[in-house]
Structure 1
Amino acid sequence: MLSRILIAIVGIPLLVYLLYTGGFPLFLFTEVIVLIGVHEFYQMAEIGGKKPNKIIGMITAFLIPLAVYLDQAKILAVGTETVISLGIIAVMTLRVLKNRVENASTDIGETLVGALYPAVLFSHCILISYLPNGGKWLVTAQVMVWVCDSFAYFTGLAIGRKIFNRGFNSISPKKSIEGSIGGTVATILSLWIMDKYLGLVPDRMSLITVIIFGLFISAVAQIGDLGESMFKREFKVKDSGTILKGHGGILDRFDSMLFVAPVMYYLLKLMIL
């Protein structure tokens, strides 16, 4: 319990600072999250009997945020599609050279999913940071994730399965539809409050925009959480890692943000900017 409290006291202000500041510190933070996340995924996969190519996966995952940052900072235009293409070619080439057919698609698939899942999705934090008020939007995204997770938990604890019998039994037995609705309502309200006090857009967001944003962000935050639970169920592990002590692993803490970052980026580009 003490370790959980200490990590929260130190980690939350640091996270908010990095998200708000952007630039090179955010890039370094992104690389740390991505590389630890990829390592955790491969570790879980190996426990589940899979054999991903960890070296190629880690190199590919490292290069994706680097390519995004260099492009956004106007230093060098590499292109994430180039990195991804070379990663796919490399992992398939090495597999062919091994001259082994058994479980080829599974091992190659695990390698690529493990690398692209954290790297491509979380790199959208860098893209958001270069948008107008990008730092404020990143902090808002993280607050919305925290609010959604907390209120979904407490709503589910209070009235879970009293209205809707069916939840997400196969993936996460404790998740309920009531909890999901509670998290969604709270997420919409949190966005309205953040826009009011942070001034995310010059003339305030319209109510319909707030609702649309809140619905999408809440939905993908919960899908991200359930998606990571799905992997853990398949690989038969309780947590993705132990680096955060009582908080589990990096993927346990950032599973929702992995999905929220790209969705928020494209919603901003489509509806506001």
Structure 2
Amino acid sequence: MSDAPQPAPAPQKKSAGRDLGAAIGVGVGLGAVIVAALFIVKAVFVGVIAVAVVVGLWELTRRLRERKEIRVPLVPLAVGGAAMVVAGYARGPEGAWTAMALTALAVLVWRMTEPPEGYLKDVTAGVFAAFYVPFLATFVAMMLTADDGPRRVLTFLLLTVVSDTGAYAVGWRFGSHKLAPRISPGKTREGLIGAVAFAMATGALCMQFLIDGGTWWQGLLLGLAVAASATLGDLGESMIKRDLGIKDMGTLLPGHGGIMDRLDSLLPTAPVVWLLLVLFVGSG
């Protein structure tokens, strides 16, 4: 038997864990559709939000039924969710809260048509779903009502995407200290630093050049807030998926998972951006 030293195994390359080509193609295509709808007719973009909400609710309720046997009534959620987005656009926060309350009531009543076993957990999950998906999405529609509404929404989208991209790029290259290993093992503290840096730089540019009356220092604060809310949103979605024992909420978007897997950081970030823009430059 030869005693010659064996060659060291080649180091393994880090993997993104998804079909990167498909992810980029789908991402670019979605981005083009969203930007086109945003700057052509505001009402069309409101429709895009409503469709995303309905599909997201379908994915979430389907997973709850499959994995936890929680029977959330989809019909009142979908109708109420779409109405919530329209009400937020047409009547502002008052309309959004009214539609949210009516949707919750509809969920409670609709579920009464089935046997009482599991009623409490079903309606609790239904009210949670109504708040988590359509109600948070209404803040995007409310951003759109300002005179510079399309640019506000574009700022919101850019900051959230850049925060996620910065976290991924820096974490993939330099990440070694886990941020929340029990929730999302792939997230690192270095990635969070990347998210903050990328989002703050983008926020300064957006507030200075896109938002009427905005200044660069406001953009730094806005970027910091977005990095925090986007990260917490991603971790929250990871908690839900870990509890359900799944990797993705759906398979609708190749390389991305489902609609809910793309909304995870956007939904909790929407009210943060809406509020800070109102405080910084008014409701428009």
Aligned to 2:238: 229
- Asked whether 1:30 is paired with 2:30, we answer no
Q: Is the radius of gyration larger for structure 1 or structure 2?
A: 2
**Partner residue in 1 for 2:5:** none
Residue 22 of structure 1: how far off its partner (Å): 5.2
Give the paired residue count: 262
- What residue identity is the alignment partner of 1:29? V
Residue 7 of structure 1 deviates from its aligned partner by: 2.1
Shift of 1:271: 2.3
- What residue is the counterpart of 2:86 in the other structure? 66
Secondary structure of 2:54 counterpart: helix
Question: How many angstroms does 1:206 deviate by?
Answer: 4.4
Distance (Å, rounded) in 2 between the aligned partners of 1:106 and 1:53: 12
Task: Report percent identity of matched pairs.
Answer: 27
Paired with 1:27 and 1:178, the residues of 2 have a C-alpha distance of: 36
Q: Which has the higher contact order (CA 8 A, sep 6+)?
A: 1
CA contact (8 A) 1:20 1:138 kept: no
Q: Secondary structure at the match of 2:146?
A: coil
Q: CA deviation at 1:113?
A: 1.6
Structure 1 unaligned runs (5+)?
none
Shift of 1:166: 4.6
Moved more, 35-44 or 245-254: 245-254
Map of 2:32 onto structure 1: 13
Q: Where do 4+ consecutive residues of structure 1 move more than 6 Å?
A: none
Structure 2: stretches of 5+ with no match in the other structure? 1-18
1:27 and 1:65 in contact (8 A); partners too: yes
Residue of structure 1 in register with 2:106 after alignment: 90
Q: Which amino acid aligns with 2:215?
A: M
Cα distance in 2 for residues equivalent to 1:212 and 1:3: 34
Partners of 1:67 and 1:237 lie apart in 2 by: 33
SS at match of 1:200: coil
1:128 aligns with 143
Deviation per CA, 1:136-163: give whole Å up to 9, x if none: 12111111111111111121122223xx
Question: In the alignment, what sits opposite 1:195?
Answer: 207
Distance 1:38 1:139 in 2: 24
Most deviating of 152-161 and 77-86: 77-86
Q: Calculate the TM-score normalised by the size of structure 1.
A: 0.87
| Contact kept? 1:224, 1:258, Cα under 8 Å | yes
Quote the residue 1:39 is aligned against: 58
1:269 aligns with 2:269: no
Residue 161 (structure 2) pairs with residue 150 (structure 1): no
Please tell me whether residue 104 in structure 1 is matched to residue 133 in structure 2: no
Partner in structure 2 of residue 55 of structure 1: 75
Out of 182, 193, 196, the residue aligned to residue 170 of structure 1 is 182
Change over 3 Å in CA distance of 1:195–1:94 after alignment to 2:
closer
Deviation (angstroms), 1:87 = 2.4
